[in-house]
Amino acid sequence: MTQSTTARAGRFHQGRLSGGRPQALDAWRVTTDDADVAARIAGLLGGEPQPNGGGSGGLAYEVLTSRESVRVLLEGPDAVAAHMVLWGSEGIVHECDGMEFLSPEEKRGQPCGCPPLLADRKLAARNGRGPMPSVDIAFQIAAEPKLGTFHFMTSSWQVAAQLSELMDALEQVGGPAVCDLAMELVVYTTKTGRGVCYRKPVVTVLGSPDSVTPEPPPTGEPTPAPAPPAPGHGTRPAFETTTPSTPDSSRLVSVDAILLRRAAQVLGTGDHQETVIAALSEIVAGPQQAAELARLREQFGRIAAIAEQALRGRDSIT
């Protein structure tokens, strides 16, 4: 898995350093050395350009965006570079592709000895005996590809576990692929009863540029029927549509039905009511609980009304 040598416009991050301590974020952070790129990112994704105080790679500017999902373009499977790395006090001591060494040079091409199962590799890495994933995803922002190539680098085991599916999906598109790069909210309770809430990176391949609806503009720009936001996140309401004074009911039903289906896939729910309840539960576990819960309750009323419209339309046809 290789990447082109196109100059990097910047990087996407899930966190930053604050007061010397790591800080997880609920929306993407973008760093760049180009002031014009920083200003354009802020215009596309929200936030304000500012000096990079988050300590990532020495890039001059950072933008703390308001978006946890961004529609991007990946130039096929070659846009993803992945390997396994174990660092020592003097640098890399083990680098492989899971089967053969990539470095040091004297071991290149020899069997690396890593376990075949991902769970065993994870355990070895946790005990300091094995390498961790190192995944680099190169992409352009779909709304403005001319900005250049951005990179997202992660050591997430969840991303590593999904690499095969991602590569297959990119291969099937057969060219540039439109994808959603998202920070998906994960909420669960441990065996000891402790609630855990974090965001995992997820890349969802949507299709070719000719077959995918363009990304909606940032929140706050009115539009009669934007595409639905990515599901499974707990920092914004489930809907961000602007309803006309005389709404087209068929259009509303279509947009919301798509959103509910996508939410159900992410949440693993079987019907609309269960999907809404699960989404509410995730919001309660996240930040800004009261405000977001109240806004979701308002949207629940819309879901009920839209479902009633859809059922009436079906009954009139049958």
Nearest Cα to Cα of residue 65 among 45, 87, 84: 45
- Looking at the structure, tell me whether residues 47 and 145 fall in a common domain: yes
Q: Reduce the DSSP state of residue 175 to 3 states and report it.
A: coil
Domain that holds residue 197: 8-77+136-207
Q: Does residue 19 form part of some domain?
A: yes
Q: Which of 73, 18, 12 lies closest to 37 in space, CA to CA? A: 12
Residue 291 CB contacts under 8 Å (≥ 6 apart), including other chains? none
Residue-by-residue DSSP string for 224-262:
SSPPPPPSS-SSS-S------SS--HHHHHHHHHHHHHH
Same structural domain for residues 144 and 292? no
Give the count of domains, the chain: 3
Q: For helices 272-285 and 249-267, what crossing angle results, to 10°? A: 60
Are 29 and 164 in a shared domain? Answer: yes
Asked if residue 152 and residue 35 are part of one domain, the reply reads yes
- Global pTM value: 0.65
Tell whether 73 and 142 lie within a shared domain: yes
Q: Do residues 116 and 153 share a domain?
A: no
Task: Indicate whether 43 belongs to any domain.
Answer: yes
Q: Does some domain include residue 233? A: no
- The per-residue pLDDT string of the chain (318 residues; one tens digit each, 9 = 90 and over) reads 545 445 689 999 999 888 878 888 999 999 999 999 999 999 999 999 999 976 655 789 999 999 999 999 999 999 999 999 998 887 888 999 999 999 888 999 999 999 999 999 999 998 888 999 999 999 999 999 999 999 999 999 999 999 999 999 999 999 999 999 999 998 888 888 888 888 999 999 999 999 887 675 544 443 333 333 343 333 333 222 223 333 333 333 333 455 555 555 555 555 555 555 555 554 444 444 555 555 555 666 666 666 666 655 554 444
Residue 3 belongs to a domain? no
Alpha-carbon distance of 259 to 235, in angstroms, equals 16
Residue 289 lies in a domain: yes
CB-CB contact of 33 with 8 (8 Å): no
Does some domain include residue 111?
yes
Same domain, 66 and 153: yes
Instruction: Tell me which of 207, 238, 259 is where a domain ends.
Output: 207
Same domain (yes/no): 23, 150: yes
Do 161 and 201 reside in the same domain of the chain? yes
Whether residue 198 sits in one domain with residue 58 = yes
119 inside domain = yes
